[in-house]
Structure 1
Amino acid sequence: MPALDPGRTALVLVDLMERIVALPLAPRSGTDVVAAATRLADTFRAAGAPVVHIRVERPNVDTQPPGSELVPSLVHDDDLIVVKRTIGGFHATGLHELLAERSVSTVVFGGIATNLGVESTARAACDLGYEPVFAEDAMTAFTADEHHASVSLDFPRLGTVATVSQITLDGPE
Structure 2
Amino acid sequence: MPALDPGRTALVLVDLMERIVALPLAPRPGTEVLAASARLADTFRAVGAPVVHIRVERPNVDAQPPGSELVPDLVRDGDPVVVKRTIGGFQDTGLHELLSGLGATTLVLGGIATNLGVESTARAACDLGYDLVFAEDAMSALTADEHRASVDLDFPRLGTVAPVSAITLDGPE
Paired residue secondary structure (1:11): strand
Identity of aligned residues (%): 83
Provide the C-alpha distance between the structure 2 equivalents of 1:76 and 1:117, rounded to a whole number of angstroms.
22
RMSD: 1.2
Indicate if the aligned counterparts of 1:115 and 1:146 stay in contact, CA closer than 8 A.
yes
Provide the C-alpha distance between the structure 2 equivalents of 1:71 and 1:93, rounded to a whole number of angstroms.
20
CA-CA distance at 1:82 after TM superposition: 0.1
Paired residue secondary structure (1:32): helix
- The Cα offsets for residues 125-147 of structure 1, whole Å up to 9 and x where unpaired, read as 00000001000000000000000
Match status 1:144 vs 2:152: no
The corresponding residue for 2:164 is: 164
Provide the C-alpha distance between the structure 1 equivalents of 2:79 and 2:105, rounded to a whole number of angstroms.
18
Indicate if the aligned counterparts of 2:17 and 2:68 stay in contact, CA closer than 8 A.
yes
Provide the C-alpha distance between the structure 1 equivalents of 2:102 and 2:19, rounded to a whole number of angstroms.
31
The runs of at least 4 consecutive aligned structure 1 residues that moved more than 3 Å come to none
The corresponding residue for 2:135 is: 135
Provide the C-alpha distance between the structure 1 equivalents of 2:74 and 2:155, rounded to a whole number of angstroms.
25
Match status 1:126 vs 2:103: no
Superposed counterparts of 1:98-109, under 5 Å: 98-109=98-109
CA-CA distance at 1:120 after TM superposition: 0.2
* TM-score, normalised by the number of residues in structure 2: 0.98
The corresponding residue for 1:12 is: 12
CA-CA distance at 1:171 after TM superposition: 5.4
* TM-score, normalised by the number of residues in structure 1: 0.98
Paired residue secondary structure (1:31): helix
CA-CA distance at 1:97 after TM superposition: 0.3
Superposed counterparts of 1:1-173, under 5 Å: 1-170=1-170
Indicate if the aligned counterparts of 2:47 and 2:172 stay in contact, CA closer than 8 A.
no
Indicate if the aligned counterparts of 1:27 and 1:147 stay in contact, CA closer than 8 A.
yes
Indicate if the aligned counterparts of 1:5 and 1:172 stay in contact, CA closer than 8 A.
no
CA-CA distance at 1:103 after TM superposition: 1.1
Provide the C-alpha distance between the structure 1 equivalents of 2:37 and 2:95, rounded to a whole number of angstroms.
19
CA-CA distance at 1:78 after TM superposition: 1.2
Provide the C-alpha distance between the structure 1 equivalents of 2:47 and 2:90, rounded to a whole number of angstroms.
25
Gaps of 5+ in 2: none
Q: How many residues align?
A: 173
Indicate if the aligned counterparts of 1:87 and 1:120 stay in contact, CA closer than 8 A.
yes
- The Cα offsets for residues 54-98 of structure 1, whole Å up to 9 and x where unpaired, read as 000000111100000000121101111000000000000000000
Gaps of 5+ in 1: none
Provide the C-alpha distance between the structure 2 equivalents of 1:47 and 1:86, rounded to a whole number of angstroms.
32
Provide the C-alpha distance between the structure 2 equivalents of 1:95 and 1:88, rounded to a whole number of angstroms.
10
CA-CA distance at 1:172 after TM superposition: 9.4
Provide the C-alpha distance between the structure 1 equivalents of 2:54 and 2:114, rounded to a whole number of angstroms.
14
Counterpart residue type for residue 134 of structure 2:
F
